[in-house]
Chains A and B, each alone.
Chain A
Amino acid sequence: MLKSVLLFILFFPVTFSAMAQTTQTVSGHITDSETGETLIGATVLVKDHPGKGTASNSYGFYSLTLPEGRFVLRFSYVGYQQADVTIDLSQASRKLSVSLKPESVSLSEVVVTAERRNQQVLSTDMGLAHLEMKEVKKIPVLLGEQDMLKTLQLTPGVKSLGEGNGGMYVRGGDGSQNLILLDEAVVYNASHLLGFFSTFNSDAVKDMTLYKGTAPADFGGRLASVLDVKMNDGNNRQFKAGGGLGLISARLNLEGPIVKEKGSFLISGRRTYGDLIYSLVDNSDNSLYFYDLNLKANYQITDEDRIFLSGYFGRDVVGFENRFGIDWGNRTGTLRWNRVWTGSLFSNTSLVFSDFDYQVETRSGGDDFRITSVIKNLSVKQDFHYFINTENTLRFGFQSTHHTITPGQVDLLSDETTSLIRLQKKRALEHAWFATMTWKPDLFFTVDYGLRLSGFVLTGPGDFYTYSASGSVTDTTRYSDGEPVKHYLVAEPRVNMTWVLDETQSVKASYTRNSQNLHLVTNSTSSHPTDIWLPSSNRIKPEISDQISVGYFRNFAADTYEFSTESYYKWMQNQVDLKNGAEIRANDKIEGELLFGQGRAWGTEFFLKKRTGKLTGWIGYTWSVTEKKIEEISNGNWYPAKQDISHDLAIVGMYEFSETWTFSALWVYNTGNAATFPSGKYLTGESVRFFYTERNGYRMPDYHRLDLGATWQLSKTETYDHNLTFSLYNAYGRKNAYTIDFEVDPDNPEKTRAVKTYLFTFTPSITYNFRF
Chain B
Amino acid sequence: MKSPLIFLSLANLFLFSCEEVIDLDLDSTQPETVVEGTVEAGRDVSVVQITRTVPFDSPNRFPPVSGAAVSLSDGVTRVTLTEVTPGVYSAPGLAAVSRKTYLLSVDLEGKVLTAESTLPDQVPFDSLTVTRQEASGIGPGSGGGEKYRYEVIAWLNDPADQKNFYRFTERINGEMQNANYVNSDRIMNGRRMSVILNNPERKLKSGDTLTVELQCIDEAVYTYFNSFGSNSGRAPGGVAPANPESNIKGVKLGVFSAHTSEKRSWIVP
Contacts and interface: CB of A to CB of B under 8 A. Distances in A.
A477 interface: no
A318 interface: yes
B243 A528 contact: no
A410 B189 CA distance: 12
B241 interface: yes
Given A582-B230, A678-B26, A421 B178 contact: no
A606 to B, nearest CB: 25
Contacts of A689: 228, 244
Nearest to B215: A685
A741 B253 contact: no
Interface stretch (A203-211, A227-235, A660-668, A691-699): A691-699
A198 B45 CA distance: 59
B155 to A, nearest CB: 7
B36 interface: yes
Contacts of A763: 16
Interface residues of B, number: 84
A478 interface: no
B124 interface: no
B4 A680 contact: no
Contact of A530 (B5, B21, B169): B5
A583 B245 CA distance: 14
A163 B16 CA distance: 11
Contacts of B193: 366-367
A165 B236 contact: yes
A7 interface: no
A750 B29 CA distance: 20
Interface of A: 161-163, 165, 167, 193-194, 282, 284, 286, 288, 318, 320-321, 323-324, 326, 360, 362, 364-369, 371, 410, 420-421, 522-525, 528-530, 578, 580-583, 585-587, 642-643, 673, 675-693, 695-698, 700-701, 735, 737-744, 746, 749-761, 763
Given A321-B133, A750-B61, A693 B4 contact: no
A676 B55 CA distance: 15
- Max count, chain A CB within 10 A of own CB: residue among B140, B155, B188, B192: B188
A366 B51 contact: no
A362 B3 contact: yes
Interface stretch (B6-14, B91-99, B110-118): B6-14
A755 B22 CA distance: 6
A523 to B, nearest CB: 5
B240 A324 contact: no
Contacts of B49: 683
A366 B151 CA distance: 14
Nearest to A676: B240
Given A421-B187, A690-B56, A691-B253, A581 B227 contact: yes
22 contacts: A193-B12, A284-B136, A326-B8, A362-B3, A366-B191, A366-B193, A367-B188, A420-B187, A582-B230, A586-B1, A678-B26, A682-B32, A684-B254, A685-B36, A685-B255, A689-B228, A693-B27, A751-B60, A755-B19, A755-B21, A757-B18, A763-B16
Interface in B82-120: none
Contact of B3 (A284, A324, A366, A691): A324
Given A528-B8, A581-B230, A586-B187, A680 B60 contact: no
A738 B243 contact: no
Contact of B54 (A321, A365, A681): A681
A740 B151 CA distance: 26
B253 A682 contact: yes
Contacts of B61: 750
Contact of B24 (A161, A580, A754): A754
B1 A750 contact: no
Contacts of B229: 581
A680 B56 contact: yes
Contacts of B4: 324, 326, 360, 362, 371, 530
Given A678-B56, A688-B60, A755-B20, A365 B194 contact: yes
A681 B60 contact: yes
B46 to A, nearest CB: 16
A756 B20 contact: yes
A642 B240 contact: yes
Given A523-B233, A680-B56, A683-B62, A692 B11 contact: no
A676 B237 CA distance: 10
Interface in B174-228: 176, 178, 180, 186-188, 191-194, 196, 201, 223, 225-228
